[in-house]
Structure 1
Amino acid sequence: MGREFRVACPDEEEATLIQAVEFLDQRMHEIRASGKVIGLEKIAIMAALNITYEYLHTRVDGGFDIAAIQRRITGMNSTIDAVMGEQTELFS
């Protein structure tokens, strides 16, 4: 929402951090557009609460964590893409 912050993170996690920033920014804009919440701090808190609520509901009884599975799949896809990019001769 137009504010910038410096956040330290390992280089390999920078893309994920940027993705998180974009997701949070989108949610905050949605809340502001609804007109029900006024003030940047309140909008940030509401966005955090909504995201946390959704995260907690990704956990299924028995400890099955859908979000963790999605992160693993994303990591696997990145690994596959990197390896396939090196194998261009196979598909010529």
Structure 2
Amino acid sequence: MSIEAVEIVILGRPYKVSCPAGQQDALQAAAVQLTEKLSDLRQRSRVSSNEQLAIMAALNFCHELCLEKEKNHQYSETMDKRIKMLQQTIEAALVEHGRYGDSGEESESSNV
């Protein structure tokens, strides 16, 4: 996979960053999202230091990421439970069907 240097702009400042080929649009979208987040934080918090803004934004993004990870974990656990219930239902149906098949065969062989 090739790496390319891409220029992004965050809060009006250009930055050159390395980016895997084909990911330039995603990187630009991330830069736009970060700029919006930083601008919003600057207005809401009245913080003028870019360093403080960056730390606050990073903290917010990490918090959002933790919440999403927890949601994914809960979803995964729910799906695991549903899959196990479905497997049990299928196994029970197969066992029941197997019994019906066995009893049907017995009655056929006793009629011969």
Superposition TM-score, scaled by structure 2 size: 0.51
2:47 matched to 1:32?
A: no
Instruction: Report SS of the residue matched to 1:9.
Output: strand
Q: Specify the structure having the higher radius of gyration (Cα).
A: 2
Counterparts of 1:37 and 1:61 in 2: how far apart (Å)?
31
Q: Does 1:47 align with 2:33?
A: no
Kindly tell me: are residues 31 and 12 of structure 1, through their superposed partners in 2, closer, same or farther at Cα, counting changes over 3 Å? same
Structure (1 or 2) with the greater strand fraction: 2
- TM-score, scaled to structure 1: 0.62
Structure 2 unaligned runs (5+)? 1-10, 76-112
- 1:20 pairs with 2:30: yes
Gaps of 5+ in 1: 66-92
Q: How far did residue 35 of structure 1 move? A: 3.7
Which residue type is aligned with residue 64 of structure 2?
E
- CA RMSD in angstroms, aligned pairs only: 2.0
Shift of 1:61: 6.1
